[in-house]
Each structure stands twice: as structure tokens, then as C-alpha cells.
Amino acid sequence: MGTVAAHGLRKSFGKVQALDGVTLDVPDGSFFVVLGPSGAGKTTTLRAIAGLEKLDAGSVRLDGRDATADAPAARDLAMVFQNYALYPRHTVYENIASPLRARRCSASEIATAVEQMSSLLHIERLLQRRPAQLSGGEMQRVALARALVRRPRAFLMDEPLTNLDLKLRVEMRTELTRIHRSLGATFVYVTNDQVEALSMANQVAILKEGTVQQVGTPTEVYERPANKWVAGFVGSPPISLLACHAEGDRLVGADGWTLPRPRWATAEDGRALLLGLRAEDLSVEQRGDASLSGELYGLEPLGDRTVVDVRVGREILKVKARPTVTGTPGERLRVTVDLDRAHLFDADTGLSLSEVGR
């Protein structure tokens, strides 16, 4: 068992409201990712769950039992700290062994467990070194090993892969997913990297300024963002947002363009809206009836694809195109829009209107 339920967490540091009513329900055995930009309160959330932060309000329940007042040691959790927090005077071996020593395991048990962990994370060579003699990536793996060496109720991981190079990060991503599956344990995983979030998570909670914006599967969060901020934060290149309003059977842009109004767009006429278009739902090639005209603004070749920046009125649309696409800035072109996959947001509240009619 390993359910983690945090309800209405509030925490302020002086004038900064780090957590403003964060509620998370992490089911047993899930890989739960908390995704948010820097300063969103991700670390504070994890520390609150771990019992390291005294909350202003809210409760933490572990396996259904109220643990809000429990000491960290009593919560039976393991945590990978964002800054590793490896013990400087101890060797890597002693660092990894520490959770087992604290719980009075036998020396042979410890030796077996440390050996197993170090081979899993490829740090066998480093066992006798001290943290100061490790690279950032090595420290991060030692920190992971120290957490994974035990079988706690749940694992809390604070951006455990950010300091690895791209190749190692991709490798460790797969490795962590594999470890998660083989342990069947609960992971609460914090990151600001949406690729990590979307590729590893069973469930994602999106955090911004101490409030949860949306909780859902990676697909839900990507396909049906709850508001314009989530839509803009998840996805790369970021979604393009165009100001417009509905007028009869048309959507009329603030810059004068018109598109046929999608069937699901039930917003009343005249209300200020934002049309959200993801790069892959736009095209500079196909011909369709729904299209916008603009001029080429720039090309961003990314190897497997090219992102074409198209200027429509005063706004820039990011359009995904084949890597072979060419053009000169200033050239006029038409962008075809897949309106069935577009998003509409209320311009004032930012909330999604797409779900209502779909």
C-alpha cells in the first residue's frame, strides 16, 4: 500500500504564498508527476508531504491515515532532494546505506542492498568516494540510490534527472519507469520538464504559483488543457493563442481573419475568446477550407521537423512542417487549420470552453 493524499496545503514564507491550497490524491502504485515552472511550489509540496515543512493549513494522509503531525521518520517515505543532500563526510557506500542503518538492518543485508542498487545505477566504481569527488550526474544517481535502497511507502523525487546530460537523462528516464513498474511502488515525481512528465507519468498535476491548475493523464493534460495557462505550458513548441470572437457561424479574429465556427464552439456571440492552435494541428501544405493567411516570419529547423513561424496580423503562429520546407521571410502563405483539434478559451477567465460542446 502507498497512497498519498495531500489536501488543501497552504504554506507561506513571509510574503510569498508558496502553496495556496494544493490538493493531490496519489493512488497506490502510480507514477504521479507534479509539473510546474520554477517557483511554482513543487519542492515545497514534496517537503510538506515528507513532513519537513510546517504547514499553515491542510492535511497529509498516508494510506488513509492522518499523518499531518507525524515526524518525517515516522512517515516511511524516501526522498531524492533537488540538491541531493548527500552527507559530505560519508562515502557513497555509507550514503546509500544510511536509510538501512537508521532502521537497524544487519550489515549483510545492507551490503547486499547497496551492491544491488549501485549496479542498477552504474555507480559501483564510486562506492568508496566522497560526494565532493563526484560529478553532478553521479551525485544525482547516488541520491537516487539512497532513496531506492529501501522499500518505503512511497518515493518522493525532486527533479532527480535535471542535472544529467541528455543521453543519460533519456536512459535514466526509461530506467526509472522500469524500476517503478518492477517495484509497483508509489512515486511522486517533481519536474519542470514536460517531456519527462508526459513520457513517465500515469498522472500529472500541473502546478502554478502554489495552486493546482489541472490533474489528469498526460494525454488529458495535453489534449484537453483546463485553461490557457496549461495549454501554453504543456507542449513544445508552445500553443499559439489568437484573440477572436464568435459571430454567427464564423470565428472572427481581432486581426480581421475569419474561420468557420466549429460545431462544438457554443460560446455566445461577441464574447472575447482565445483560439488555441497547436503546431501539429496547423499546416502550410495541405489545402483545406479552414485556413488563415499570413506571411512567413521565420524558420526553425529542428532536424526531424521544421517549425515555421507565420505572422497573422500582430500574432505569430507556430506551424509544424516537414524538414524540407523552404521559404523566404515576408513571403505570403496560407495556414490550414484542423479546427476539430483546436481549443477555445475565455479570454477573461482563461478557462477552457472546448469541453462544453465537444
Partner 1 sequence: MAVSVDEAVSTGPARDNPPPARRLGGRGRSALEVALLTVLAVVMLFPVLWMIETSIKENRDVYAIPAKFFDFTVTLEHYRDVFVAPDGGRSALSVSFLNSVVVAGVSTVLATVLGVPAAWAYSRFAVKAKKDQLFFILSTRFMPPVVVVIPIFLMYRQVGLIDNKLGLILIYAAFNVPFTIWMMKGFVDEVPAEYEDAAMLDGYTRLQAFWKFTLPLLVPGIAATAVFALIFSWNEFVFATFLTSSDSVRTAPPAIAGLIGGTTTDWGLVAAASVVFALPVLVFAYLVRRHLIAGVTLGAVRR
Ligand X SMILES: Nc1ncnc2c1ncn2[C@@H]1O[C@H](COP(=O)(O)OP(=O)(O)OP(=O)(O)O)[C@@H](O)[C@H]1O
Q: Which of residues 177-216 bind ligand X (CB under 6 A)?
A: 192
* Residue number, 162 or 202, with CB nearest to partner 1: 162
Task: Give the CA distances from residue 245 to residues 18, 225, 352, 358, in Å, rounded to whole numbers and listed in that order.
Answer: 36, 20, 14, 18
* Residue number, 186 or 283, with CB nearest to partner 1: 186
Q: Pick from 350, 76, 324: which is nearest to 239 by CA?
A: 350
Hey, what's the cell of 223?
Answer: 489534449
Is residue 41 near ligand X by the rule CB under 6 A? yes
DSSP string, 291-302: EEEEEEEEEEE-
* Residue number, 16 or 356, with CB nearest to ligand X: 16
Give me the 70-89 binding string for Mg ion, x by CB under 5 A, dash otherwise. ------------x-------
Contact range with ligand X by CB under 6 A, out of 12-20, 98-106, 195-203, 285-293:
12-20
* Residue number, 2 or 235, with CB nearest to partner 1: 2
Q: Which of residues 163-182 bind partner 1 (CB under 8 A)?
A: 163
Count CA atoms closer than 13 A to 62's CA, side-chain side: 22
Give me the 104-143 binding string for partner 1, x by CB under 8 A, dash otherwise. --------------------------xxx-x-x--x----
Do residues 279 and 319 touch, judged by C-beta distance below 8 A?
yes
Task: Give the CA distances from residue 265 to residues 246, 357, 358, in Å, rounded to whole numbers and listed in that order.
Answer: 8, 6, 8
Residues in the chain: 358
Rounded distance, CA 61 to CA 153, Å? 12
# of chain residues touching partner 1 (CB under 8 A): 33
| Smallest gap from residue 312 Cβ to ligand X (A) | 34
* Residue number, 21 or 39, with CB nearest to ligand X: 39
Is residue 43 near Mg ion by the rule CB under 5 A? yes
Which position among 29, 30, 48, 82 is part of the footprint of ligand X (CB under 6 A)?
82
Place of cell 509540496: 45
338: number of Cβ within 10 Å: 15
Tell me the H-state helices in 103-217.
107-120, 136-148, 166-183, 194-200
Hey, what's the cell of 11?
Answer: 504554506
| Smallest gap from residue 41 Cβ to Mg ion (A) | 8
Q: In 3-state terms, what secondary structure has residue 276? A: strand
Contacted by 36, from Mg ion, ligand X, partner 1, none: CB < 5 to 8 Å by type:
ligand X
Rounded distance, CA 204 to CA 226, Å? 13
Hey, what's the cell of 89?
Answer: 563526510
Do residues 260 and 337 touch, judged by C-beta distance below 8 A?
no
Rounded distance, CA 54 to CA 3, Å? 21
Is residue 54 near partner 1 by the rule CB under 8 A? yes
| Smallest gap from residue 45 Cβ to partner 1 (A) | 15
* Residue number, 82 or 291, with CB nearest to Mg ion: 82
| Smallest gap from residue 192 Cβ to partner 1 (A) | 15
| Smallest gap from residue 66 Cβ to ligand X (A) | 23
* Residue number, 138 or 281, with CB nearest to partner 1: 138
DSSP string, 93-110: HHHHHHHHHHTT--HHHH
Is residue 283 near Mg ion by the rule CB under 5 A? no
Where does this chain bind ligand X (CB under 6 A)?
13, 16, 18, 36, 38-44, 82, 192
Where does this chain bind partner 1 (CB under 8 A)?
47, 50-52, 54, 71-73, 77-79, 81-89, 98-99, 101-103, 130-132, 134, 136, 139, 146, 163
Where does this chain bind Mg ion (CB under 5 A)?
43, 82
